[in-house]
Every structure is written in structure tokens, then in C-alpha cells.
Amino acid sequence: RASLQRVLDDFLLPYVSPGGVVAEIGSGGGRIASRVVPLCGTFHCLDISREMLKKAREAISKAGLDKETTVHYTPIDNNLLPEPLADSLDFVYAFDTFPHCDTHTIFSYLKEMKRVLKKDGRALVHTSNILAPRGFARFAQQKGASVQGFCFTS
């Protein structure tokens, strides 16, 4: 989709470099990871679902994207990123993940993102915003927050 490519080009890919160490929180089936993996040296797929990590591994391996880049698939427990990642990442991002999380969970991940970034590392955080042009309309249609819907922040 054109809008996804624009987001990647404008907000994500400028911070990925050859040889860089990158992590995605909420890798899911590898939709975004598969576009980033070929552009860095080491990539960490992080997700609460082992099944989704399996799907990401299959998608990345099937496309042959893990031949030049080291890719790790690590489950996340209790909103904590793996301890060995402390101060090791050049870039960490969560795209299309936090709209499905409550505010406390997002806050936990923000603290974790700071912990795992190198001193000059960068992060990208994508959330849903009730104040966005169509944000309130979408919010009003939902009966409550759910994984299938959005948890709105402002």
C-alpha cells in the first residue's frame, strides 16, 4: 500500500543502516520486518505470540532475507524486552502494535525502549490518536478496547 510505503520511507527506513542493530516490538507475521531486515546487520523480531514469531520466521526465511542479516526471534513476556538487548540497539520501533495496547502497557514498552537503545539510538512509536481527523469516529464505533480494535491515546 502506498500509505505504508510512505510511512516506511519517511519515518522508519531513514534510521536503518547497513550493519545496524534493529528491533521491532510486535513483529507479528513479519510484514514490516521483511522490509527492514535486508537493510541492517542484525534484526530482532520481538512479539508476545510465539505463533506470530514462527510466521515471521517462515516469511523472512522463505524470501531469503536472512541470508545477509542475522535475525533473532524472541518472545516478549510481561512487557519486558530481553535483558541482553540493554544498550545494544541503534533503532527500535513499534509500528501497528501500540494501537492494540492500553496506556500502561505502552508506558512499560517506552521505558524498555530507552533501556535497550544505545546512547545515540533512535526509536519510532506509532499509536492511535482519538484527536486525529477520523480518530473519534473510529473510537465511537467501538464498544470497548480490544486486540481487534484500537486503544486510543491522545
pLDDT digits (tens, 9 = 90+) for 59-84: 999 999 999 999 999 999 999 999 99
Specify whether the CB–CB gap between 89 and 117 falls below 8 A. Answer: yes
pLDDT of 149 higher than 80: no
Predicted structure pTM score:
0.90
Predicted confidence at residue 82, as pLDDT, reads: 97
Residues near 10 by beta carbon (within 8 Å), at least 6 away in sequence: none
The single-letter code of the amino acid at 89 is L
Can you tell me whether residue 146 is helix, strand or coil? coil
- Region 120-132: mean pLDDT is 90
- Region 8-33: mean pLDDT is 97
Report the alpha-carbon distance of residue 27 to residue 33 in Å, rounded: 7
Q: What angle do CA 132, 99, 33 make, to 5 degrees?
A: 115
Question: Max alpha carbon distance in the chain (Å)?
Answer: 46
| Best CA proximity match to 127, nearest among 149, 108, 154 | 154
Can you tell me whether residue 96 is helix, strand or coil? coil
DSSP 71: E
